[in-house]
Amino acid sequence: MGKTVNVALIGCGTVGGATALHIIRSATLIRQRYGVEISLVAVVDRELAHARAIGVPEEILFSDLDSVLTRSDIDVIVELVGGIAVAREIIQRAVASGKHVVTANKALLAHHGHDLCAMAREAGRMLAFEASCGGGIPLIRALYDGLAGNRVDAIYGIVNGTCNYILTEMIRRSISYDEALGEAQAHGLAEADPTLDVGGHDSAHKIALMAALAFGVRVEYDEIPVEGIDALDLLDVSWATRLGYVVKLLAIAERTASGVALRVRPCFVHDDHPLAWVGGPFNAVSVYSYPTGHTMYYGRGAGGSATSGAIVADLIAIATKAYEPYFVGGRFWPDRTEPVEQNAPGTIYGRYYVRALVQDRPGVLAEIANRFAEHDISIASVHQDEMPEHEEKLAPVIVVTHAALEDSLRSAVTEIDAMPQVSGGCAVIAIIDEPAEQLIEYQT
Amino acid sequence: MGKTVNVALIGCGTVGGATALHIIRSATLIRQRYGVEISLVAVVDRELAHARAIGVPEEILFSDLDSVLTRSDIDVIVELVGGIAVAREIIQRAVASGKHVVTANKALLAHHGHDLCAMAREAGRMLAFEASCGGGIPLIRALYDGLAGNRVDAIYGIVNGTCNYILTEMIRRSISYDEALGEAQAHGLAEADPTLDVGGHDSAHKIALMAALAFGVRVEYDEIPVEGIDALDLLDVSWATRLGYVVKLLAIAERTASGVALRVRPCFVHDDHPLAWVGGPFNAVSVYSYPTGHTMYYGRGAGGSATSGAIVADLIAIATKAYEPYFVGGRFWPDRTEPVEQNAPGTIYGRYYVRALVQDRPGVLAEIANRFAEHDISIASVHQDEMPEHEEKLAPVIVVTHAALEDSLRSAVTEIDAMPQVSGGCAVIAIIDEPAEQLIEYQT
């Protein structure tokens, strides 16, 4: 029998509780399959009622963090307290006392991955974080191992289950954002304060991590433009369906000529792209890489159960020393990469859906079309339904553009917003077309 | 700079050619990202015209296999000759002369994985085969690494791009199997002799490998029941759509109470399951594992470009020594597992689509229904369209069953086939329902 690896879990909430049970229940399987012993020796939380209720053995429950962090018999700590300041300190102290670290904390890594990786590296310890992106989907591994040797060109991810659930329900049942959010909260799929999820910040944390690994560059989290789903109008969600698209909150990372372009925003995804099919709380990430082309990874992006699977995979990779060559030898970790130019969305070309609410007067459409023309934006299609006679209701006018510079588009839209016949601001949603796969092709 | 790993490619066809170019073109990226040097030092083929035409440097081209296999400066050989006897001998000789081996040869591994892994292990060499299943999709890694620690319960794979292309075209354009096959051949997506693909054997090779790794058992390839798509009637493909399903050739592996159940067959997949959405030559594999639940892996399952990505990932994992802990420590490789009971499909419960062509006479439907009832099979739904009056055409009668023992179903169908009013044999297609995800759940 191989080495025993003693594990302490810090934080026993939803993910921590499931992870405790998974480690305990799978110990035999892991021993049989990998010849290593993963032993849960401590579960730490200020409040242990949850841990007790789900059956974590009393003898491994501790409320005093300090005494566990300093125990010399512990090989790995799993940080699951969340947040930034406390989690950061826990990881620093754990590494300082010679422990490997596994974490699911994307916010922390997006902001401080650089320092934490450097500290772990200097101490000869591992820092693993498969669970930080895409819950149970082995996504981080795809980037550092499965697609090793590939040049990643683009990543499009549905990486927030709360948002995807809300959007799926809005589309399926034609309900408003507020109604769908309320239901998500009732089902435990959204927090009481849902800002981090619906505002797109959680997705931004994840794409920051994935982009850094995939492109081997240092990403400044604060430079990522983030737009959530909280301002989405059902009208536009419905128009997406009518035009052959599905609205998804996408976390996007693209390699560009001068650097990388990262952003999080609701997008129209064509309904023949696999990402369009990802429903409910599920996550999926499409990676376009040369020479493999398009690969997509699908699964539960959150929840204790799925996330615990990713955490245990990391524990096994640390215990077997399979992770070490990647963490020690890899040059793509946050502490080993150089800053890169992050292109602002305004400098990127793309297609857009623009919807204005207009008074049904002669000349409005002509004026809107002129605004686009003056900014050199080609219109691909225009849609305006006949309105009932004598109705005072505003008519939606939908314009789908050909590829245009986003700055030009925003300028045109600002002018349209200012038109007296246009009510409120235009809705502007990017349309994501599937990029051409870069494959090795040759004539023989 | 780390160690240089010298690689020889044996076989320079579609996959070999792309792999040669990928290794050469990505050498800098690999050095930068992983700190190892993957150096292509030999490409061997009896016929080198293809290698020359695509630009493999003349100085690394060899037509004499023996002289390359015995070179002491070569660390890894990549076996891409295909077939069984010759490929097996090449691998044995390579291992005997101290080389690691990377192969994409599923047929060989399905039949001789046991011996070849054992031989490599005794010699202290690695045998890696990511490219054997799902082309460029990191699928083998998901089983030994990404889902490490999970109990895999079921695998459903679309793992043959030729079949999936043919089925997609049959559905999309309502064309016959023969017509779709002809087109696939014209587009280079099917071989002149397509038996290995359309007969389901290629899919069977792949599910044998995946099941063995996932379940940690020894699988006898010859015991896998295989049914291809070559007998599929467009009538049934169209009925699938009408009933809310999509016909896919699935390679299936399930953990059962007494062992495992493997099979390859066309199946009705419900159109809300992600596998139903996988179109054209793409592959996807759904893995149901505890506690991660459903994960799916999607990408190009064949073609030189995508497959070369998987091969280079294996080369990097060998060069960095990241693969070693899994290959050396893992107990789930073919040479380290015990035979397992492989349940015959007849002993498994499932739902079925049964279609008979009947003469439109009184009492036919009652008699068909009786046959099912006598074998204890509940009927979920029956479908028979009104036929034009006075037409002599046979009417399709469709019966969808509730879960039934396949042996009982086959007995009922044999009796129905023998009815004088029934013409030809019934079409019988299994319906795959999404299994319940096994997740960690608890009340708090």
Each residue's pLDDT tens digit, A60-90: 999 999 999 999 999 999 999 999 999 999 9
Interval A193-198 mean pLDDT: 96
* pLDDT value of position A345: 87
Q: Chain B: nearest CA to A177, how far in angstroms?
A: 23
- Cross-chain residue pair A440–B18, CB shorter than 8 Å: yes
Interval B90-105 mean pLDDT: 98
- Chain B interface mutation, best of A48, A150, A283, highest count of B Cβ atoms under 10 Å: A150
pLDDT tens per residue across span B113-151: 999 999 999 999 999 999 999 999 999 999 999 999 999
Interval B422-433 mean pLDDT: 95
* pLDDT value of position A391: 66
- Cross-chain residue pair A138–B142, CB shorter than 8 Å: yes
Q: Are B197 and B181 in contact (CB under 8 A)?
A: no
| Average pLDDT, rounded, for chain B | 96
pLDDT tens per residue across span A2-56: 589 999 999 999 999 999 999 999 999 999 999 999 999 999 999 999 999 999 9
B369 HSE (CA, 13 A, CB side): 10
How does residue A112 score in pLDDT terms, banded at 50, 70 and 90? very high
* Residue B443 confidence (pLDDT) above 70: no
Chain A residues closer than 8 Å to B329 by CB: 2, 34-36, 320
* Residue B98 confidence (pLDDT) above 60: yes
Q: Chain A: nearest CA to B233, how far in angstroms?
A: 26
Catalytically annotated residue among A99, A106, A206, A248: A206
pLDDT tens per residue across span A334-369: 999 999 999 998 999 999 999 999 998 889 999 999
* pLDDT value of position B1: 43
Chain A residues closer than 8 Å to B316 by CB: 148-149
* pLDDT value of position A1: 43
> What is the dihedral sign for C-alpha B262, A282, A290, A440?
positive
- Cross-chain residue pair A136–B293, CB shorter than 8 Å: yes
* pLDDT value of position A393: 81
Q: Which of A321, A331, A443 sits opposite B33 (nearest CB)?
A: A331
Task: Specify the pTM.
Answer: 0.97
Q: Which of A148, A313, A440 sits opposite B21 (nearest CB)?
A: A440
- Cross-chain residue pair A33–B332, CB shorter than 8 Å: yes
Q: Which of B295, B309, B326 sits opposite A299 (nearest CB)?
A: B295
- Cross-chain residue pair A326–B320, CB shorter than 8 Å: yes
* pLDDT value of position B138: 98
* pLDDT value of position A30: 98
pLDDT tens per residue across span A271-292: 999 999 999 999 999 999 999 9
Chain A residues closer than 8 Å to B131 by CB: none
Of all residues in chain A, the percent with pLDDT exceeding 90 is: 94
- Cross-chain residue pair B295–A294, CB shorter than 8 Å: no
Tokens of B272: 């809300």
Q: Which of A146, A309, A321 sits opposite B149 (nearest CB)?
A: A309
Q: Is the ipTM of this complex over 0.95?
A: yes
Interval B71-87 mean pLDDT: 97
Q: Chain B: nearest CA to A348, how far in angstroms?
A: 26
* pLDDT value of position B442: 73
What phi and psi values does residue B335 have, to the nearest 5 degrees?
-85, -5
Q: Are A199 and A207 in contact (CB under 8 A)?
A: no
Q: Which of A130, A292, A315 sits opposite B306 (nearest CB)?
A: A292
> CB count, 10 Å around CB of B193?
9
Q: What domains are there in chain B, each with its CATH number?
A: 4-132 (3.40.50.720), 141-301 (3.30.360.10), 346-432 (3.30.70.260)
pLDDT tens per residue across span A126-161: 999 999 999 999 999 999 999 999 999 999 999 999
Residue of B nearest to A320 (CA): B325
Residue of B nearest to A149 (CA): B30
Q: Please tell me the distance from the alpha carbon of residue B359 to that of residue B258, in angstroms, as a whole number.
A: 43
What phi and psi values does residue A193 have, to the nearest 5 degrees?
-100, 100
Amino acid occupying residue A111:
H
Of all residues in chain B, the percent with pLDDT exceeding 90 is: 94
Q: Please tell me the distance from the alpha carbon of residue A315 to that of residue A5, in angstroms, as a whole number.
A: 9
* Residue A235 confidence (pLDDT) above 80: yes
pLDDT tens per residue across span B181-198: 999 999 989 999 999 999
* pLDDT value of position B256: 95
pLDDT tens per residue across span A367-425: 999 999 999 999 999 999 887 776 678 999 999 999 999 999 999 999 999 999 999 99
A206 included as an active-site residue: yes
Q: DSSP secondary structure string, A240-267?
A: HHHTTEEEEEEEEEEE-SSSEEEEEEEE
* pLDDT value of position B148: 97
> If you count residue pairs, one on A and one on B, with CB atoms under 8 Å apart, how many are there?
249
Catalytically annotated residue among B3, B99, B106, B206: B206
DSSP class of residue B244 equals T
Buried b / exposed e over B169-189, threshold 16 CB at 10 Å, is bbbeeebebeebbebbbeeeb
Residue of B nearest to A322 (CA): B322
How does residue B391 score in pLDDT terms, banded at 50, 70 and 90? low
Q: Are A103 and A79 in contact (CB under 8 A)?
A: yes
| Average pLDDT, rounded, for chain A | 96
Of all residues in chain B, the percent with pLDDT exceeding 70 is: 99
* Residue A299 confidence (pLDDT) above 50: yes
Q: Please tell me the distance from the alpha carbon of residue A420 to that of residue A357, in angstroms, as a whole number.
A: 11
